[in-house]
Amino acid sequence: MDMNTEKLNKILAVFQGERGGLISILQRVQEEFGYLPEPALSLIADFLHLPQSQVFSVATFYDNFYLTRRGDHLISVCQGTACHVLGARDILETAENCLEIKTGQTTPDYKYSLERVACLGSCALAPVVLVDNEVHSKMTPRKVKQLLTEDIDDRKIQA
């Protein structure tokens, strides 16, 4: 998805006249585009009369802001202690091999992004993998392989 300047201007128009709206604007722009395209950051800086460096440093400071396009589906592999002792490292490695990317990267078709996360608060279900907002419990490398090699868009959402 390329940045659409018209869409961005519409978002900025909503914030016209508001002071100190940088974080809110960044959140809204990311909601729209899925990430913060670099040209958008420059236009936001102009709009707020802020130095570009300030807008970039805020955008890079928060983990929840992404400066590169993300995949349609986010695979989060828990690396917290409970998951770690039950083989989370192998699970992450298997996910990397299946998707042919490294942790933190996105597949070239923008279908998947892979990330490691700290404890997801479901330690009793360890090791845990999150696919978008769907929890997959007691994962094994075999189960991860199965999960990531089937077509995710055809997959029925598990309860």
CA distance 32 to 44: 14
Q: How far is the CB of 44 from ligand FES (least distance, A)?
A: 36
CA distance 108 to 100: 10
The number of residues that bind ligand FES (CB under 6 A) is: 11
- CB-CB contact of 45 with 54 (8 Å): yes
Q: Is 115 a residue that touches ligand FES (CB under 6 A)?
A: no
CA distance 96 to 99: 5
Q: Which of 122, 140, 141, 152 binds ligand FES (CB under 6 A)?
A: 122
Q: How far is the CB of 152 from ligand FES (least distance, A)?
A: 22
Question: What are 6's two structure tokens?
Answer: 């018209």
Q: Is 11 a residue that touches ligand FES (CB under 6 A)?
A: no
Q: How many CB atoms lie within 10 A of CB 125?
A: 16
Q: Is 129 a residue that touches ligand FES (CB under 6 A)?
A: no
Q: Is 128 a residue that touches ligand FES (CB under 6 A)?
A: yes
CA distance 125 to 134: 13
* Distance spanning both ends of the chain, measured CA to CA: 31
Q: Is 120 a residue that touches ligand FES (CB under 6 A)?
A: yes
Q: Is 77 exposed, middle or buried (0-12, 13-18, 19+ CB in 10 A)?
A: buried
Site string for ligand FES, 48-87 (x = CB under 6 A): ------------------------------x-xxxx----
Q: How far is the CB of 79 from ligand FES (least distance, A)?
A: 7
Q: How far is the CB of 127 from ligand FES (least distance, A)?
A: 7
**Interacting residues with ligand FES (CB under 6 A):** 78, 80-83, 119-120, 122-123, 126, 128
